[in-house]
Structure 1
Amino acid sequence: MTIDLSPPAPSPETFPSAETLSSAETLPTLAAVIAPEPSAPPAPVRGAGAVAPAPGPEGRDATAPRVVASRSAEAAAPPRPPRFAALGDSLTEGVGDRVDGAWRGWAALLAQGLGEPGRPAEFRNFAVSGALARDVHERQTPEVLGYAPDLASVIVGVNDTLRHTFDIRDLAVRLDTVCAALSETGTRLLTACLPDPGTMLALPGPLARPLARRQRTVNAVVHALSERYGAVHLHIADAGWVEDRSMWSADRLHPGERGHRMIARRFHELLTAEGFALGTAPGAEPQQPVPSRMAKAAWLATAGTAWVARRCTDLLPQLVGLAGSEVRHWARGTSARLDHVAENALLSALASLSLDPPLARMGE
């Protein structure tokens, strides 16, 4: 079977219809069963330290009504607010959406609309800037399992594509392990496919194509795992999202406040359809002042430059080699061979997870 590795044609953003999930829990009916009145006081219980229950009025066991009342109170207690955990990298940490000197981001915005009015959702953000799939697997997931969330977002992979150690099979195995561990506890997963960093950074074709090819394999794995675990999946890899510059921050790689709000609103829409989101969706319009050109330039000259330097140290030598290979294959008319190499690597990764290859949609 051949899987198309060519980039998708620009199309309006679409979102899949989510499977209907009934989240209503049926509370057990507690029947208050009281024994009939005895004709005589109960016989004393024999044995070391044994004490017979004191008879109440008319010979009834005085402890029975209290037990029934306690169980009825437990049954009448309202369920706790939903608990939401966010795993991932800088996208989920909130980079690009600064509020009061700290990153907020789409996950925090979404959490505000998950609980009922007056009963907000509990939220913890475990995401860390620069995180790889390995970090989510080895560091974040154990902490999240201890938190025992009802919902958990697992969005990672872009940083992996920017490393010279990129290995789609290793990434697939790690993400599968994370999704399985969370799903086994009853946690509902949130996932997303993402645009490739080469397109976001407007790199030249020979440099952008290797990164695009890597990101499409990551997205294919995420699609497959989302189907396997019934995740609420968001498509944000298409051209409509990428080309709208009002959605992005100065670094051209992370969403700005408007972009983070868009992601939160889209997830809220999907979760509302499944009965998970009971509150109001976050607003679409930014509430923070738009950074001035001077502020953007200052950021790029400091934090932005440091980010580029770190990526160049790790990836640039390999990326230059990949770009050279792209040019040579283009000159020979054999560029399809590079696509086949990536395709075979993807199929090997999915085979290691016992996943059916057709689940991989590399054109998305």
Structure 2
Amino acid sequence: MRRLRYVALGDSLTEGVGDPVAGGWRGWAALLAAGLVAEGTEPAAEFRNLAVSGALTKDVLRTQLPAGLALRPDLVSVVVGVNDTLRRTFDIRTVAARLNEVYAATVGQGAVLLTACLPDPGTMLGLPGALAQPLARRQRAVNAVVHALSERHGALHLHAGEGDWVTDRAMWSADRLHPGERGHRQLAARSHALLAGHGIARGPAPSTEPCSPAPTRSASLWWLATAGTGWVARRCTDLLPQLLSLAADELRHAARGTSTRLDLHASAAVSSALAALAVGERREAA
């Protein structure tokens, strides 16, 4: 009997950062893979995690997708986009075009597609409002695109961008951007329930209870003072000048009472990006 093949594409979230095991990271996708087939009745699922920390949508499209499809998977998860929002080159139309191509190629080969939306990084990092709002607006735009394209391509979509798990610190690792073991288990369990509801996951659901103790406060502070500082510094060289400009614009609109214009502009950009994809598809079909 041929094994069910599951390929995971994405960035550090899917790579498993925040859920350490001996020799590296585990993460929600690996936990999900263990519960895809019934115990004792079928061969275990064949799982390949191609996600890479720091990956952008262009990396998934250009590198991970071809490698993943070459494995002829039955199930493909694609969770990416947060890193795009943290770049000064962020453009929702480009992000939408890349995701559309990835989704289309995946379902076009006959694989089941699993997607998810995510919380915004500004809120998770606890940034001041003027700095957090531009990042939140970008992540909402990415989530809106993921929602729309998931529906268009018949993907199974996990709404993970909001809810109690986002504000529960016990779910998150010291860096505040990646789930800890408990958070990864939560994502795995919710993904399993979604797949089980469509007859795809037939094994036991992943436990939501962690096996390892949560990091101590001192360990979290040590991470923030060492590795965390480096993480912020690497992003600041690219994003900080633009983010400060966006924050100044945020403050100006707030002072004038016109902040809704920024939200409307972001919504219009999403609509334009999706409309451009529809026009392109009609031209290809003609």
TM bracket (short chain) = over 0.9
- Residues paired across the two proteins, number: 277
Aligned to 1:153: 77
Q: Residue 222 of structure 1: CA displacement?
A: 0.2
For the residues of structure 2 that align with 1:340 and 1:244, how far apart are their CA atoms? 30
Aligned to 1:7: none
- Letter paired with 1:92: T
SS of residue matched to 1:353: helix
For the residues of structure 2 that align with 1:135 and 1:165, how far apart are their CA atoms? 15
For the residues of structure 2 that align with 1:165 and 1:155, how far apart are their CA atoms? 20
Q: Residue 151 of structure 1: CA displacement?
A: 0.3
Aligned to 2:38: 116
For the residues of structure 2 that align with 1:288 and 1:120, how far apart are their CA atoms? 25
Aligned to 1:96: 18
Task: State yes or no: 1:171 paired with 2:127.
Answer: no
For the residues of structure 2 that align with 1:284 and 1:333, how far apart are their CA atoms? 44
Task: State yes or no: 1:313 paired with 2:237.
Answer: yes
Aligned to 1:36: none
Aligned to 1:240: 164
For the residues of structure 2 that align with 1:352 and 1:302, how far apart are their CA atoms? 44
SS of residue matched to 1:241: helix
- Letter paired with 2:58: R
Gap regions ≥5 residues in structure 1:
1-78, 356-364
1:163-184 per-residue CA deviation (whole Å, 9 max, x = no partner) reads 0000000000000000111111
For the residues of structure 2 that align with 1:273 and 1:340, how far apart are their CA atoms? 36
Task: State yes or no: 1:341 paired with 2:265.
Answer: yes
Compare 164-173 and 225-234 and name the one that shifted more.
225-234
> Do the aligned partners of 1:81 and 1:115 also contact (CA within 8 Å) in 2?
no
Task: State yes or no: 1:322 paired with 2:240.
Answer: no
Task: State yes or no: 1:83 paired with 2:83.
Answer: no
Q: Percent identity?
A: 67
For the residues of structure 1 that align with 2:256 and 2:217, how far apart are their CA atoms? 44
For the residues of structure 1 that align with 2:213 and 2:264, how far apart are their CA atoms? 47
TM-score of the aligned structures, taking structure 2 as reference length: 0.94
For the residues of structure 1 that align with 2:215 and 2:257, how far apart are their CA atoms? 45
- Letter paired with 2:2: R
- Letter paired with 2:8: A
For the residues of structure 1 that align with 2:205 and 2:163, how far apart are their CA atoms? 24
Task: State yes or no: 1:296 paired with 2:204.
Answer: no
Task: State yes or no: 1:199 paired with 2:123.
Answer: yes
Aligned to 1:66: none
Q: Residue 291 of structure 1: CA displacement?
A: 2.0
Aligned to 1:70: none
For the residues of structure 2 that align with 1:279 and 1:336, how far apart are their CA atoms? 47
For the residues of structure 1 that align with 2:275 and 2:248, how far apart are their CA atoms? 30
1:68-91 per-residue CA deviation (whole Å, 9 max, x = no partner) reads xxxxxxxxxxx3121000000000
For the residues of structure 1 that align with 2:238 and 2:72, how far apart are their CA atoms? 35
> Do the aligned partners of 1:232 and 1:271 also contact (CA within 8 Å) in 2?
yes
SS of residue matched to 1:147: coil
Task: State yes or no: 1:137 paired with 2:61.
Answer: yes
Q: Which of 126, 138, 160 does residue 50 from structure 2 map onto?
A: 126
> Do the aligned partners of 1:226 and 1:232 also contact (CA within 8 Å) in 2?
yes
> Do the aligned partners of 2:76 and 2:113 also contact (CA within 8 Å) in 1?
yes
Aligned to 1:358: none
1:231-253 per-residue CA deviation (whole Å, 9 max, x = no partner) reads 11111111412111110001111
- Letter paired with 2:238: D
> Do the aligned partners of 1:99 and 1:288 also contact (CA within 8 Å) in 2?
no
For the residues of structure 1 that align with 2:186 and 2:92, how far apart are their CA atoms? 29
- Letter paired with 2:188: A
Q: Residue 354 of structure 1: CA displacement?
A: 1.0
Closer, same or farther in 2 for the Cα pair 1:241/1:226, shift >3 Å?
Answer: same
Aligned to 2:192: 268
For the residues of structure 2 that align with 1:187 and 1:174, how far apart are their CA atoms? 18
RMSD: 1.1
Q: Which of 240, 255, 271 does residue 179 from structure 2 map onto?
A: 255
- Flag the structure with larger Rg: 1
TM-score of the aligned structures, taking structure 1 as reference length: 0.74
Q: Residue 278 of structure 1: CA displacement?
A: 1.1
Aligned to 1:20: none
